[in-house]
Amino acid sequence: MIKADMKTILKSGFCMMSLLLALAACSAPTGKSPESGTEKANVAAPEVEIADDFKGDGMEMPLDGSSVEAFDASLAMVKKHTNAENYRYLEKAIGYMMAFDISVRNNKARLVSRLNGLNGYEVIARVDRDRPSPGKNSIKKGGADAKILDT
């Protein structure tokens, strides 16, 4: 009796798996748009031209937040005209905002629109201003408490 039930369970399990696979195959995108019936072309985003006649510190360049592509192009120009350490701070600040800014909610288009016109230093300052200040760890706090008790 138990073996018969186990066979039935296995049979129905295999039927369910094959049904799920068939449904998944039917719902997979075919590469055709429903409106035109033609295949989608993998078109790259248009390159945004930024003048390369900038002289000075790249972190002072305003970031173009008109679109994600323009933002990426302006970041490339900042990277080209600044040292690696400053650019790394800028990348970390942007990553921090993507992860922890509630108004952005990990949406790059929203972040880009919020950073439109800011330079690299302003982006870093905005993140440093928004971060909570570090509290005393237990070692520093214990040492401060011991000084109070000794007096």
**Which tens digits make up the pLDDT trace of 34-80?**
444 444 444 444 444 455 666 778 999 999 999 999 999 999 999 99
User: What pTM was computed for the model?
Assistant: 0.54
Q: Which stretches of the chain are assigned E, i.e. beta strand? A: none
pLDDT digits (tens, 9 = 90+) for 6-19: 677 767 765 566 65
The neighbour count for residue 114, using CB atoms within 10 Å, is 15
Three-state DSSP state, 39: strand
Read off the tokens for 85.
């350490």
User: Does residue 120 contact residue 82 with C-beta atoms inside 8 Å?
Assistant: yes
User: Does residue 77 contact residue 50 with C-beta atoms inside 8 Å?
Assistant: yes
